[in-house]
Structure 1
Amino acid sequence: MCLGLPMTIVETDGLTALCEYGNELRHVSVMLLTNVTLGAKVLVHIDSAVRLLDDKEASLISEALNGLDASLNGQDYDRFFTDLIDREPELPEHLR
């Protein structure tokens, strides 16, 4: 399984970018994107930025990753999934 990280661009030369997630800095390719700017949130898979994220989506992904980490460490994880509490699961439109 491959997880994408929501990272923030802190430096870029147009082809690569230095991105930050938490305390981690990583050089990633941004060749799949257009209009890469400092401070932009990107979804990174295997050291390649695959798409831009808005702040809300980046936050939701970060919270889900934090919740996964908490559950793997035997900690309470409900607070990381507040957007899912008291909501029935829904299939994506293409699966209905």
Structure 2
Amino acid sequence: MCIGTPLRILSCDGIAGLATDGTREELIDLSLTGPLPAGTWVLGFLGTAREVISETEARQIAAALKGLRQVMAGGDSGDAFADLDARTPQLPPHLAAAHAAGKTHA
């Protein structure tokens, strides 16, 4: 499984970018996003920027990944999923539409 990580662009030279996750720097391929200005947040997968994200999204993803690391180490997730804790479960739009139409099975 591949997990995307939020990265902030430090510099860009064409489709090659230098980015940081706050603890380390890495070269990333910007072929899918195109050249980006310094300060832009991206979701990186295996050395490639897959999409541009907001700073808020970057912080939420980083908090969730930190919570997962804590759980994997035997600890508590803390408030890593606070944005989900206060929400009731929601069906994806296509399943909500099927449910509203009275469908109960596939």
TM-score, normalised to structure 2, is 0.83
Following superposition, the deviation at residue 95 of structure 1 comes to 3.5
**Aligned residues between the structures:** 96
In 1, Cα distance between equivalents of 2:91 and 2:2: 21
Distance in 2, Cα, partners of 1:62 & 1:22: 10
Q: CA deviation at 1:23?
A: 1.0
Pairwise CA RMSD:
1.3
Q: Does 1:53 align with 2:50?
A: no
Q: Which of structures 1 and 2 has the bigger CA Rg?
A: 2
Segments of structure 2 that go 5 or more residues without pairing to the other structure are: 97-106
In the alignment, the residues of structure 1 paired with residue 68 and residue 57 of structure 2 have an alpha-carbon distance, to the nearest angstrom, of 17
Aligned to 1:21: 21
In 1: Cα distance, 2:94 partner to 2:2 partner: 22
Q: Percent identity?
A: 33
Contact 2:15 2:34 in 1 (8 A): no
- Offset of 1:94 from its aligned partner? 3.1
- Structure 1 match to 2:81: 81
Partner of 2:6: 6
Q: TM-score, normalised by structure 1?
A: 0.91
Which residue does the alignment assign to 1:69? Answer: 69
- Runs of 4+ aligned structure 1 residues displaced above 4 Å come to none
How far does residue 33 in structure 1 lie from its aligned partner after superposition? Answer: 1.0
Runs (5+) with no aligned partner, structure 1: none
SS of aligned partner of 2:49: strand
The corresponding residue for 2:92 is 92
- CA offsets per residue over residues 38-64 of structure 1, 9 Å max, x none? 010001011110110011111111111
